[in-house]
Amino acid sequence: MVKKKTRVRKAVIPAAGLGTRFLPVTKSMPKEMLPIIDKPVIHYVVEEAFDSGIDDILIITGRGKRAVEDYFDDAPELRMHLERHGKNQQLKDLNEISRFRGIHFTRQTEPKGLGDAVRSAEKHCGDDPFAVLLGDDIMKDGIPCTRRLIDVFEKTGGSVIAVQEVAKKDISKYGIIKGREEGDNLFLLEDIVEKPRAEHAPSNLGAIGRYVFTPALFPCFDLVTPGAGGEIQLTDAIRQLMKKEDVYAYKYTGKRFDTGDKLGYIETIIEYAMEDEGMKGELGEYIRKKGM
Ligand code: UTP
């Protein structure tokens, strides 16, 4: 009998979407590369994976997303320039990225939905459990959200998705779960519905872009019928997975920023800027003035 693997070493970061909510800038710039002051969104996502104990990362890119690969590549000319000019702080910032060295990349040939993007990681993940972190969601907490999901996985052996309470007006933007409470912030998944109308939603707990899956997820994609525009939904594959094994939902209580949304993006920048000693005083003053 093949022993089930219990350590989560791999992560998949889908970053191949078109980012239509951010057009026209996303015509030539991946939304995952939009800056949160001086680091792109995807920097924080990769950092979360590393800080959760993951050292094997696969980023799913697509056409027009080369900037993502360039960002995580070495830049010897730039490094030498900074060394020559004694720009030590900038050099330190640059070297911080090098701890992420060894990231793998694959391309989704067409943006056929999040499910299709995750499915393209099958060969890379093989028989291993893996985390999925959406490339445009930033989570902010003492213990990384992905680490918390891995803890649940190690305890239960089941796939687990992060959820958060969402406002009634936003329910139709999320995959909403129905779950049976099993413990502190832990639910056994009974159903998950993609973007329901608020009055038909089974709860107010929405999936927020962090998952840990057993490899049993992959065959589930064969059973999923593509929706409008040939899109393959991850939610549909999760529903199939639930028929085969227990799937859990973990209610994450930290902060979450949806940077793929314009307002969410601005909020993220303000959040990080207000933590910067050099900026927070004047920025706070500016915001207070504007608020009047
Ligand atoms: P979104 O639905 O937020 O991304 O997917 P999108 O389609 O790019 O955004 P809009 O609605 O057009 O503005 C969540 C994550 O899944 C990735 C996206 O890059 C994002 O990180 N994704 C989405 C893919 O990798 N492939 C897809 O086909 C769709």
Residue 7 has pLDDT above 80, yes or no: yes
Higher pLDDT, 145 or 63: 145
Closest CA to 108 of 23, 213, 25, 230: 230
- CATH for the stretch 10-260: 3.90.550.10
Convert the pLDDT of each residue in 186-244 to its tens digit.
999 999 999 999 999 999 999 999 999 999 999 999 999 987 678 999 999 999 999 99
14 lines ligand 1 (CB under 6 A): yes
Q: Which residue's CA is the closest to the ligand 1 atom numbered 3?
A: 260
Residue 230: predicted pLDDT: 81
Average pLDDT over residues 166-188: 94
Domain borders along the chain are: 10-260, 261-292
Residue 1 has pLDDT above 70, yes or no: no
91 lines ligand 1 (CB under 6 A): no
117 lines ligand 1 (CB under 6 A): yes
Residue 272 has pLDDT above 60, yes or no: yes
Dig out the tokens for 26 from the structure: 């996303």
Residue 101: predicted pLDDT: 82
Nearest ligand 1 atom, CA 116? 28
Q: How far is the CA of 112 from the centre of ligand 1 (A)?
A: 9
Give the residue ranges of DSSP H helices in the chain.
Answer: 41-51, 66-72, 76-84, 88-98, 114-119, 122-125, 145-156, 217-220, 234-244, 262-273, 277-291
Average pLDDT over residues 140-164: 96
Closest CA to 213 of 235, 191, 181: 235
Average pLDDT over residues 139-159: 96
Q: Chain centroid to CA 90: how far?
A: 27
